[in-house]
Amino acid sequence: MTKTLPLLTLTAVLALPGATMAAEDDPFLWLEEIESERALDWAREQNERSVEFLESHPYFEAIHARNLEILTADDRIAFPSLMGGQIYNFWRDANHVRGIWRVTSREDYRNERPDWDVIIDVDALAEREDQNWVWAGANCRYPDYDRCLVGLSIGGADAAVRREFDLETREFVEDGFVLPESKSYISWRDRDSVFFGPAFEPEQMTTSEYARKVYIWRRGTPREEAELVFEGERDDVLVWGSRFWDGDTPWDMIVRLPSFFTREYHVLRDGETVRVDVPNDANIAGIIGGQLLVELRSDWTVGESSFVQGALLAADMESVLAGEPEFQLLFQPNERQAVNGVSTTQNTVIVSILDNVIGQFLRFTYGEDGWTRERLNIPGNGTLSVVTTDDRSDAFYFNYTDFLTPSRLYEADAMADTHRQIRSEPSRFDKDGMTVAQHFATSADGEQIPYFIVKPAGFEANGANPTLLAAYGGFEVARTPFYSGLIGSAWLERGGVYVLANIRGGGEFGPRWHQAGLRENRQRVFDDLIAVSEDLIERGITSPEHLGIQGGSNGGLLTGAVMVQRPDLFNAVIIQVPLLDMKRYHLLLAGASWMAEYGNPDDPDDWAFMSQYSPYQNLSPDASYPKAFVTTSTRDDRVHPAHARKFVARMMEQDHDVLYFENIEGGHGGAANLKQSAYITALIYAYLHDRLNPASRD
C-alpha cells in the first residue's frame, strides 16, 4: 500500500513602546535556561500561587474528578491501527497510566470486548528500567510486520529513544537498531537496513535542530560506518529518508525541506538520486498503481496543462521521473472547499474533503480507462476522518463526530462503498436543549470568517453568557466540529457557550486560507479573531465581561497577541504552550523551522511587521489586561517554555495580574499522561468559571 508522505503534518496594531527591544536588553533571558535551578524555582513559585488559587474554586474538585473519569473510562473507543490485517492499539486508562500497546484480529475487534494481546506494557517497562517513559509510537517493517522501531520519550519530549523490537519474540532486539535520546530520524528500508538521520551534534543538524543528512545503516555495523546518501543545507528545516510501497513495489524516497512549506522529493535508485519534478510547495500524497498523487498549494502550468491552487493531480510515476509527465486533474476544490487528507487502500484513493468545514469522502480508482470518481455514501453533517486503512484489502475505518455527537467508529469497504458502525462512545454530558449554529463575522478587510457556536440549554441572547472562544489560525491546520466530554461537562452543562472560529492561517478552505495569514499578513489572523469576538458581542451572545479566548502553541501566539491588542474585549485569556517572544523564537529549539510561517526577525524588513504584534515586546505597563492564565511544559522541546515564562515575568514586572502553571513534564501537548491532562484541564475550567461566571464562586 502507498503510505502518504508526511507534511511537516494579525485593524492596524497598536505600536506600543518597547516593540524594538533588543535581546541584550531582555532582563529575563535567564528564564531560557530550561532546567536551571533558578528558572525552575521561579516556575515552582508561580505554580504554587496559581494552584492554590484555582484549586480553591468551588467547581475545581468536581470538574477534576469528572475529567479523570471521562479520560480513563473503559468505554472509550480503542481506535484501530491496521497492520498486516491485524488491529493494533495503544491504550491508557486508570490502571495503565503510561499505557499498553496491544493487538487483536479484525474479527475479534468487532466484538464489544475484544481479547487484546498486550505487546508492550509501558508502565511495567518504566518501572523495570527506572525511567519516565512516555510512548512515542512504533514504526513496523512492511510487508511482514515482524520488526518495529519503538519510540520512548523521557517525560513526553519530542526527542526520543528508538529501539528495535521483535514482534514474534516480544523482546527488544539485542544488538539491534538503537538510537539514544535525540530528534534523530530512523525508518525501515528492509529487514537488515534502515534510513538514518542523526541529530546528536550541531554539525549533523539544521538550524531547526533536526537531521540534515540521510544515511543507510546496515545491520551489524556501527552507526558511525553508515553510508551517507544525501546531505541537506544547514539552514534547511530537515531531511529524511523512507521506503514507501506501491503494492509490492518499493520506492526509496528522500525528502528535503528547505523551509516548512517547501520540499524536494528525490527517488534513490542504484546509489543515485533522481528529483521528482513537482513544484517546491506541492505535497506528494502517495503512489498507487504506478500513479503519483500530488497536492498543489499554488497554481502550476506543466506542459500545455494549467492547474490551480488546491488541486489534486495524478500522473504515471515513471513518466514524471523521465521528465515527460501527463498530469490528470482528480479534484479541484471550489472557494469553500479543501482537500483535508489523502489515504489509500489496496485499490482505491480516499480523499477527505472539507465543504464549508463539513466533511465528506471521495473515492478514486485507476484502471484501463483512467481515473474514476465517486462520492462515498457516508452519514452525518460533521467531521469525518480516516482512522486507518488496510494495505491488503480495501478495508478502512473512519470516525464521525460533531459538537453534540460522540465519536462513532465505522468499518468500511472503499471499493464496495459499504460501511457499518462498530463502536460508539457514550454521551459524557446531557445535550438536551443544546443547539449548534454556524455564523459569519466580517473581518477588517471584508473577508467573511465562519465560526461555530454551541449554545447550552436555556440559552438567551442577553449578553451575559459565559463564552469560551477557541481558535488556532496557522500552518494550514483546519479546526472542525468535534465532541469533547470535558468541554461538555465542565463548561456547556454549567451554562457556558462554546465557540470555534475558522480564522485565516488555517486550512479550512485550502492553501489560500492559510497563505492569507502568512508573514506580513499575520495581522489578518488576529483581526479575524477580533471580528468573531465583536460579532458575538453584537449578537448579544456575550459581553467583554463574560468572553474568554483559548489557544495553544501557534494558538497561544494568537491569544497572546489579541489580548495585547484588544484587552477591552476579554475577561479571560488562556495561553497554552505558546510562542510569545517573536524576536528570539527562531533561536529557541525548533523555532527556526517556522520562519516560512512568521518571518525572520533578524531581517529588518521582516522584524518591521513582526515587531508590531509580538506579544512579549508589546506588553505595556499602562494597559489594562484581563487576568490571563498561561501554561507550558518544562519538557516541551518544540516550543521553548521560555516564551511563557518570560511573558509572565514581564507582566508581573509591570504589575499585571496573571496566573501561570508549568508542568515539569509533558512535552508540547502539555501533559505526559491522562492524570496530568485531567488536572491541567480542571485548572483551566476553574479559571474560566472564576473569570466569566462570577456566580460560580457563590
Q: For residue range 119-147, list pLDDT tens digits in order.
A: 999 999 999 999 999 999 999 999 999 99
CA-to-CA dists, residue 413 to 52, 363, 372, angstroms = 53, 11, 17
Distance (Å, whole) CA 348 – CA 346: 6
The domains of the chain are located at 40-68+428-697, 333-425
Catalytically active residues are 553, 668
Among residues 208, 181, 342, which one has the least CA distance to residue 667? 181
pLDDT confidence band for 25 (50 / 70 / 90)? confident
Can you name the residues that pair with 267 across neighbouring β-strands? Answer: 253, 274
Write the pLDDT tens digit of every residue in 500-529: 999 999 999 999 999 999 999 999 999 999
Instruction: Please give the share of the chain, as a percent, with pLDDT higher than 90.
Output: 91
Q: Determine the average pLDDT of the residues in 472-480.
A: 97
Amino acid at 325: P
Write the pLDDT tens digit of every residue in 408-436: 999 999 999 999 999 999 999 999 999 99
String of DSSP letters for 60-112: HHHHHHHHHHHHT-TTS----EEETTEEEEEE--SS-SS-EEEEEEHHHHTSS
What burial letters (b/e) apply to 518-542, b meaning 16+ CB within 10 Å? beeebbbbbbbbbbbbbbbbeeebb
Task: Please name the fold of domain 40-68+428-697.
Answer: Rossmann fold (3.40.50)
Average pLDDT over the chain, rounded to an integer: 94
Residue with cell 506543466: 302
> Which of 2-6, 273-277, 629-633 has the weakest average pLDDT?
2-6
Whether the predicted pLDDT of 6 surpasses 80:
no
Write the pLDDT tens digit of every residue in 275-302: 999 999 999 999 999 999 999 999 999 9
Amino acid at 295: E
What burial letters (b/e) apply to 115-150, b meaning 16+ CB within 10 Å? ebeebbbbbebbeeeeeebbbbebbbbbeebebbbb
**Three-state SS for 581?**
coil
Whether the predicted pLDDT of 17 surpasses 50:
no
pLDDT score, position 666: 56
Q: Determine the average pLDDT of the residues in 177-192.
A: 97
Number of H helices, E strands in the chain: 14, 39
Instruction: Please give the share of the chain, as a percent, with pLDDT higher than 70.
Output: 95
Distance (Å, whole) CA 528 – CA 10: 8
pLDDT score, position 5: 37
Backbone angles phi, psi at 136, to 5 degrees: -125, 25
Q: Determine the average pLDDT of the residues in 639-663.
A: 97
Assess contact for 457 and 654: CB atoms under 8 A. no
Q: Determine the average pLDDT of the residues in 158-184.
A: 96
pLDDT score, position 24: 56
Can you name the residues that pair with 398 across neighbouring β-strands? Answer: 386, 410
